[in-house]
Amino acid sequence: MVFAKLQGAKNSLRISSSLQDLSSYRNIDPEHGLLRDPISASFSKTKPLQLPNPVRRKCLAPIAIIAFLLLILFLLYIFYSHQASPKYYVVLDCGSTGTRVYVYKAQVQQAHSTNFPIAIQSLKDGLRKNPASGRAYDRMETEPGLDKLVRNVTGLKTALKPLLKWAQKQIPEASHRSTSLFLYATAGVRRLPFDDSKWLLDNAWNVLKGSPFVCRRAWVKIISGTEEAYFGWIALNYDSGNLGVEPRKETYGALDLGGSSLQVTFEGYNQKHFNSETSLYVRIGSVNHHLTAYSLAGYGLNEAFDKSVARVFKKFGYSVADAVKGNVEVKHPCLQSGYKERYTCSHCAALEKGGESPKVEGNENLLGKNEGLKTTVTLVGVPNWQECSALAKVAVNLSEWSDVSPGLDCEIQPCALGDNLPRPMGHFYVISGFFVVYRFFNLSAEATLEDVLEKGREFCEKRWDVAKTSVAPQPFIEQYCFRAPYIASLLRDGLHITDKSITVGSGSITWTLGVALLEAGKAYSVRFGLRGFGLLQMKMNIPFLIPILILSFILLLCALSWVVNWMPRFFRRQYLPFFRHNSGSSASVLNIPSPFRFRRWSPINSGKLIAQLISEFLMIR
């Protein structure tokens, strides 16, 4: 029989129980009633949950906190060990005379807080100086330049693959997959028509992506002369120890002379040097730098000699038509007696058309329109030192190669610069091509420009058969008679820089070092800020950061302990008891919702309730 709603009940709970079941409660042991039968623990056939051990619960919280802290420390260790591990960079410099590969190893250095935080090492394992070679640099290089390999897939692969193979030997094999590979082309490729330069870069990318290094298509590109100048300035002042140090040190200007162009970079403090086209704002560490950087196309060593040939070509009244017939001999005053060789002139056709300006980076230079109009002539040596020096000065004067009017007087103003370019100021390191000329004549860095001119004059007076054997085999031996007066005139007349304002840099200073420094800075979170390049500076001081992390862990431990001890009761799990009857009848479970207080059931505590139920049952009957 089932009871209906009790009369006079003070709540709306529905009581549903069998009378015969009540009698079975008499034999229940109150303490034994909490024991669970492994087979039939509850009417729901679900295995009941065991009440948690209070001692175990108290131990779990500290263990969990300790495990969490150990995990955090482990992750931080992994992060900082990865950040502090060496990083490798491979930079391909694709110039007008050849393609060079440079491999750099970068590491974080924390020896002193005022030092630049990154140490860069150039790797040259297996590259030994050949005593029989007169080359100025110890580097891996292939020739000719990429600009001579347009539409030549085989030649392009031949130029790049040996460089990549050599670079792989410099870097541990385990680090190959994390090594960044960059190919930056300069003036040689920069002057090509768009379709030709695009073909070169696309096919170079096809070769590079097959290497074991990390390379992206965006890393295979032509860099502007301003970028090249900036990279060179970074490399120079890093090598000199002037970057990222406190107190601030005065930086050096950089004159980077290549085969096709001259890069000029210096730090200016005068408002007249602020030019929107040439100004760069740089922040390294806590120091701000305002740089002036520009590139002079056509002022590299090879291009300058080509202009001298074009000037003599025009002086004798030759035309391109005459050159096509093959009967043009150009008698050059900067070549030794007995010299006679065929030469391909790039500027001869342009000069015949009235001349074009070798303009500043960003504008089309004189080779842009006439790259396909090359003229082959025969160069004949007719040495004359005075005429050679005058010809070198003509190659420097901008007004001789442009429509600048009136003509520039090199005695009054720097005649290699237009009115829109700031004049160089400060102390300069002359690198690359300048170093090559000094090295050729066995001059030390302390030698003056007068020493260079004297060595050049002596070399020009030798017969060609004697001159070419007086030095170790190397490219462009015949051009050094011209190069000596050219670099002297370029500094003195073209830029108005005196001997006291220059220092000859070593051959180890190249703009590719600046590329590696910038990339390592991004990888190690030591950023260089450069307007227009989207890089930000963020210097991380690891020794100062460690105490902060330890203090943070202590605060976190205290917070977690407070949370565990004062956690609200409704976040704690409630466990309801399950009872077992001795008989095979169904169990009755009172599931009292939480805000009511729950009391364990026993026949002793429930005797009055049972008596009341029986009494009310008899009254109904």
Active site residues: 228
Residue type, 421: L
For residue 183, what are its two tokens? Answer: 């190919």
281-319 burial: b if 16+ Cβ within 10 Å, else e:
ebbbbebebebbbbbbbbbbbbbbbbbbbbbbbeeeebe
DSSP collapsed to 3 states, 471-505: CCCCCCHHHHHHHHHHHHHHHHHHCCCCHHHEEEC
Decide: helix, strand or coil at residue 593: coil
Distance CA 379, CA 359 (A): 27
Cis preceding linkage at 131, omega within 30: no
Q: Residue ranges for the binding site? A: 259-263
10 Å CB burial of residue 204 (0-12, 13-18, 19+) is buried
- The secondary structure of 219-239 as a DSSP string is GEEEPPHHHHHHHHHHHHHHH
Distance CA 305, CA 482 (A): 7
- The secondary structure of 340-396 as a DSSP string is EEEEEESSHHHHHTT-----BTTS--TTTTTTT--EEEEEEE---HHHHHHHHHHHH
For residue 570, what are its two tokens? Answer: 């409704």
Q: Residue ranges for the binding site for ATP? A: 259-263
Q: Which residues lie across from 99 on neighbouring strands?
A: 94, 142
CA R_g for the chain: 42
Q: Are 252 and 240 in contact (CB under 8 A)?
A: yes
For residue 571, what are its two tokens? Answer: 């976040």
How many other CB atoms sit within 10 Å of the CB of residue 394?
15
Closest by CA to 337, choosing from 508, 468, 490, 165, is 468
Helix (H) or strand (E) holding 452, with range, is helix 449-460
Distance CA 556, CA 548 (A): 12
Please measure the distance between the N-terminal and C-terminal CA atoms of the chain and give it in whole angstroms.
12
For residue 442, what are its two tokens? Answer: 């066995």
